[in-house]
Structure 1
């Protein structure tokens, strides 16, 4: 028994110390996956009758290279052995199906990163998947990631913020689906024959979140002439410190979706609702994380202060000016936070400078959280449409609706004989347009926002490696 434990310890040491991406099988795997991706249709299948389609024998040969590389890399990752065995079986089954719509349910169920939340632990994952906020097609992707689970975070999860499925992760390297704006790794995005009864993990790339936060915030602060406390300036210079803030923020945000007075399915799965409902839910989770961060700072947890800064600036500077305006619910949440703080004199745009009352930020931000929570609590006793209208009233108190909006004219402008989900068709794609302030900011930050595509801890794209040491170092 002792010998077995010693062997396991030795394997774990190898998996922590030897970078998967330094093994020659990794570039071989990556190149093979990148050959397959252009051959795939939107659903992940390969149509051999399409013009310019490859010969099936050529695809099979390339897939054999994928399998060979996985088998060479798997010994570096003994904790993923069962997953890699299931992965090889799923890859072979895909080939046997003549590369029909892929089904990787068996390997998905075998992949259990949340069961091994050891700080610095590497994982190699290969799935047909889309990448949220990235590639919408279910292409084959390969990603090497590293777990972020320092002792202080593990203790907070154990004692205050139970979230057994959450995985804080960083990029090691990836195929083109992650050379995008995607910063999440979710099982829902993977091609399977049927959805599992429940998912057992969810990953957020805190290195990408931290890196783009730093780049966009530094540019916005410079443009808007924001006077920052010295400690905040120090934070913006420190990638490692920002990663710690984001992994804590994400852990609290993620669990908040299922905590509190919830009048509807917290993740709104298979529900059709006006996009401001999604915006309020995401903002509620962020504001809850902010409120908890204030408590953590008071309790002497240094990351608590940094979570407040990260949430405030990401929401104010990046969210409203990122992405298309078509039902941009995260952008809407950022607009609402800015407008609320502005109405309460916490932020002021005057003399071409943005001034922040740092002493008032915690109180007023928590006040907005309270208003959304009261909306939710009252919503439990309301019909769906009445709740949507009440939420609209809350948002429109601080943000001006589009002049052509039917919803802004109240219930009398809507055809109430229709089902509520049909009334969603009357919601304008940009129901709450950007203010003049944000229109100007969006133009000035456009190139900075674009430059964060594919960003990692080093500020570079794929192949950059770790660069900055992870939070546990």
Structure 2
């Protein structure tokens, strides 16, 4: 076994699932990356000339590790060769802002998705929900591609870019809440056409299990037997998350979308991102309902995963500044409560399991109708309609200019200027937590924090 140390001094024992994890080559490479990161600035460069000799030594150790591991990874031969060249070019040019375009383009792990296939990933990159700086990271991972997912992807749920993965070991940028590996985070001279996007299903499943287990105990929620099995079984949870992510990810580009999809970089009110992420999750829920009717063995687990992760983890994870995932969780919880299938009575949470699916599907239809109408509306009108949908379920902040406009004060928002003014008028916490969530957040704080750096092996 080897160990990584998450923030706060807590140590996680990580099972060495592959001999390379305990190899001298990997351990030496990982140590070199750790040393190199200490010299890097936020943009990935090594700005101090007095550090360049040390940086060169660290890069030489790192490259030696890559070359020693390469024979074990023949499917990545072209990428690893390009990676060595990119590190050499970076060192020879004086450790400026790194450019790893060539090795990134050569890395195409989604072209051959094989269950258990291993990859070594080394790039100067930031990690979403982790390290915001483009420092060098090193990750050993394996692909999760069970037969049932291959069948789904080969049928109605085609998603050629989707790469579900599992941690084997990693450097400090992933000793965080980050559960994705996206090529757009890598330092590069230009943006290529991306061919893959990785999601660490083991981390998603592990933190889901830990958070939902505690939340059910705190709220005294009685889980159905199949939901209890999902929370107790890491492998089952991983498979549910892979299936959920497959459908969620492809949904971003499917359906009656606004002409300018949310993924294109633009500055919009954060509640629009909430609705887009929620739309994709509710689509996954809807498809899981249909697949359950066809007898799919993991479809029911996907429904539980969407429901529990949204209302328990998403709603109270992260700060309150434009927390669009948190808002989506609040919205789902309040919608189900107002539809009479979720109850908080006598300090106990109950869910009417036989009735809960239809209200979830109804919320999905409401979001889809908003999107369908969007192509006939100006951008400002679409934004206002989206706000009205959210505000019809959740109570806005008392100081909200958007809420004043909704209530009839037409001068509360700068409607005669560019859309930027509307975005600026959104409060950082436009829809504060309810009293229920304020209390739950306090009780769940330690457990939420404990999931930073978690993996399937350490759950």
Indicate the TM-score class for this superposition, using the shorter chain for normalisation: over 0.9
| TM-score, length of structure 2 as denominator length | 0.94
| 1:389 corresponding residue in structure 2 | 384
In 2: Cα distance, 1:160 partner to 1:267 partner:
23
Distance 1:125 1:398, change over 3 A: same
Q: Could you tell me how far 1:18 is from its partner in structure 2?
A: 5.3
8 A Cα contact 1:134 1:178, kept in partner: yes
| 1:69 corresponding residue in structure 2 | 65
In 1: Cα distance, 2:436 partner to 2:422 partner:
31
Q: Could you tell me how far 1:265 is from its partner in structure 2?
A: 2.9
Paired residues for 1:354-393 under 5 Å: 354-393=349-388
| 2:235 corresponding residue in structure 1 | 240
In 1: Cα distance, 2:344 partner to 2:93 partner:
61
| 2:210 corresponding residue in structure 1 | 215
| 1:352 corresponding residue in structure 2 | 347
Paired residues for 1:40-119 under 5 Å: 40-48=40-48, 54-119=50-115
In 1: Cα distance, 2:51 partner to 2:357 partner:
61
8 A Cα contact 1:406 1:414, kept in partner: yes
8 A Cα contact 1:113 1:201, kept in partner: yes
Encode CA deviations 1:86-107: one digit per residue, 9 max, x unaligned: 0000001110121000000000
| 1:202 corresponding residue in structure 2 | 197
| 1:308 corresponding residue in structure 2 | 303
| 2:278 corresponding residue in structure 1 | 283
In 1: Cα distance, 2:70 partner to 2:445 partner:
42
| TM-score, length of structure 1 as denominator length | 0.91
Q: Could you tell me how far 1:272 is from its partner in structure 2?
A: 1.0
Q: Could you tell me how far 1:296 is from its partner in structure 2?
A: 1.0
Distance 1:379 1:214, change over 3 A: same
| 1:273 corresponding residue in structure 2 | 268
Distance 1:393 1:18, change over 3 A: closer
- Answer with 22-31 or 417-426: which moved more: 417-426
Encode CA deviations 1:305-332: one digit per residue, 9 max, x unaligned: 0000001000000001000100000000
8 A Cα contact 1:346 1:361, kept in partner: yes
In 1: Cα distance, 2:43 partner to 2:296 partner:
46
Encode CA deviations 1:165-220: one digit per residue, 9 max, x unaligned: 10010000000000000000000110011111x21000000000000000000000
In 2: Cα distance, 1:186 partner to 1:195 partner:
13
| 1:130 corresponding residue in structure 2 | 126
In 2: Cα distance, 1:267 partner to 1:76 partner:
40
In 1: Cα distance, 2:261 partner to 2:334 partner:
25
| 2:424 corresponding residue in structure 1 | 425
8 A Cα contact 2:162 2:246, kept in partner: yes
| 1:467 corresponding residue in structure 2 | none
8 A Cα contact 1:18 1:76, kept in partner: no
Q: CA RMSD in A?
A: 1.1
Encode CA deviations 1:360-411: one digit per residue, 9 max, x unaligned: 1111100000000000001110000000000000000000000001011114
In 1: Cα distance, 2:357 partner to 2:411 partner:
39
In 2: Cα distance, 1:217 partner to 1:19 partner:
33
Residue in structure 2 matching 1:187, options 156, 161, 183: 183
Q: Could you tell me how far 1:55 is from its partner in structure 2?
A: 3.1
In 2: Cα distance, 1:437 partner to 1:105 partner:
48
8 A Cα contact 2:414 2:421, kept in partner: no
In 2: Cα distance, 1:231 partner to 1:255 partner:
27
In 1: Cα distance, 2:431 partner to 2:167 partner:
35
Is the aligned partner of 1:455 residue 2:454? yes
In 1: Cα distance, 2:113 partner to 2:325 partner:
29
In 2: Cα distance, 1:265 partner to 1:185 partner:
24
Q: Could you tell me how far 1:20 is from its partner in structure 2?
A: 2.4
In 2: Cα distance, 1:244 partner to 1:153 partner:
8
| 1:7 corresponding residue in structure 2 | none
Q: Which runs of 4+ in 1 moved over 3 A?
A: none
In 2: Cα distance, 1:240 partner to 1:282 partner:
25
Encode CA deviations 1:296-354: one digit per residue, 9 max, x unaligned: 11111111000000010000000010001000000000000001000001101000000
8 A Cα contact 1:274 1:424, kept in partner: yes
- Answer with 258-267 or 84-93: which moved more: 258-267
In 1: Cα distance, 2:458 partner to 2:119 partner:
22
Is the aligned partner of 1:174 residue 2:193? no
Is the aligned partner of 1:229 residue 2:224? yes
Is the aligned partner of 1:156 residue 2:155? no
Is the aligned partner of 1:38 residue 2:38? yes
8 A Cα contact 1:26 1:73, kept in partner: yes
| 2:14 corresponding residue in structure 1 | none
Segments of structure 1 that go 5 or more residues without pairing to the other structure are 1-16, 461-473
In 2: Cα distance, 1:337 partner to 1:18 partner:
40
| 2:141 corresponding residue in structure 1 | 145
Segments of structure 2 that go 5 or more residues without pairing to the other structure are 1-16
Is the aligned partner of 1:19 residue 2:15? no
8 A Cα contact 2:316 2:326, kept in partner: yes
